[in-house]
A = this chain, B = another copy of it.
Amino acid sequence: MLNITQSIGGSLSSPMVLAFLLGIIATLIKSDLKFPEGMYLGLTIFLLFAIGLKGGHKLSHASISEFILPGISAIAVCIIIPIANFFLLTKLLGFSTVNAAAISAHVGSVSVVTFSQVSIMLEKSGIQYEGFMPAILAIMEVPAILVALFLAQNSLQVNKEERRDLLHELFTNKGIVLLIGGIIIGMLTGDDGYKQVEPLYDGMFKGILCLFLLEVGLVTGRRLFDLTKVGPKLLIYGITMPIVHAVIGIILAHVSGLSEGGAIVFATLCASASYIAAPAAVRIALPDANPTYYLTAALVIIFPFNLTIGISIYMKLAHLIYSVW
């Protein structure tokens, strides 16, 4: 049923996935290919803003009332996932409090690139999804990080004033500002305004995502050998958890009244791990956490898994659940 070889094969016809692999290979063969400093940041700004804009524009044509239940589900899942993961990681897998919290912050939050990839795959398959999903993406960026830091309370190396700073930083991080800012601009400008900027933000989106994934591949490749350091338990965790999260996501999506397409996107968000807000917050709030664990989990295991196999699995799982329920 879940034909994994076929999924992998399918994803190998995606220029984005292939660009990601090229990046990894380039690092493995020790090529001098390196993106100029600033290009990663520039591409990130473009992608976040473009997702916001497109989402906002779709949202302006959607009815907001349908948004309330999925919105609540999104927040709920961002509280449940980090708590569950934190206990799993500390009690069962023997991670220290601070490392467990760091990993939970990452897996509880979401990945913008994984979101882009699932929307491209749905578009290709002709499956519709709710226009407000970028807003859900924005909602899911922060809460899990807060929950995870709360769980690490005692290990949290910040005093009261710094805690306030940290909260502030989380809610004003560039991911949030660009996504929500983009959504609002997309909603306010209307069709005429959107048409002016569409050739760049929509027309070029996939091409630029492809370039971005090449760079993500270069970074992932550099961290690939950390896999040997982290041991098999993190690997198994990183492949199992996304699927579990996706199933929770599909069920919650169904309960919230999302369409099958919406459920696939939501499941993918649940299964994805953050790489913008979470690493930045963890570096400041939990400087004792070992990046080898949280970066490897988020970037080297979960991200490629979702990109190549995960999303196809979630599409099939959603189809299964939506056809029997």
Contacts and interface: CB of A to CB of B under 8 A. Distances in A.
Given A26-B172, A197-B207, 20 more contacts: A14-B189, A14-B193, A15-B189, A15-B193, A18-B184, A18-B185, A18-B189, A29-B172, A30-B168, A31-B174, A32-B173, A32-B174, A35-B45, A38-B38, A38-B39, A39-B42, A120-B196, A124-B192, A196-B207, A204-B207
Contacts of A33: 45, 174, 177-178
A188 B39 contact: no
A203 to B, nearest CB: 5
Nearest to A197: B207
Interface residues of A, number: 60
A22 interface: yes
Interface string A197-212: 1111101101110110
Contacts of A167: none
Interface of A: 12-15, 18-19, 22, 25-26, 29-39, 41-42, 45-46, 49, 53, 120, 124, 168-169, 172-174, 176-178, 181, 184-185, 188-190, 192-194, 196-201, 203-204, 206-208, 210-211, 214, 280
For this chain, the copies found in one complex come to 3
Contacts of A208: 200
B181 A210 contact: no
A161 to B, nearest CB: 15
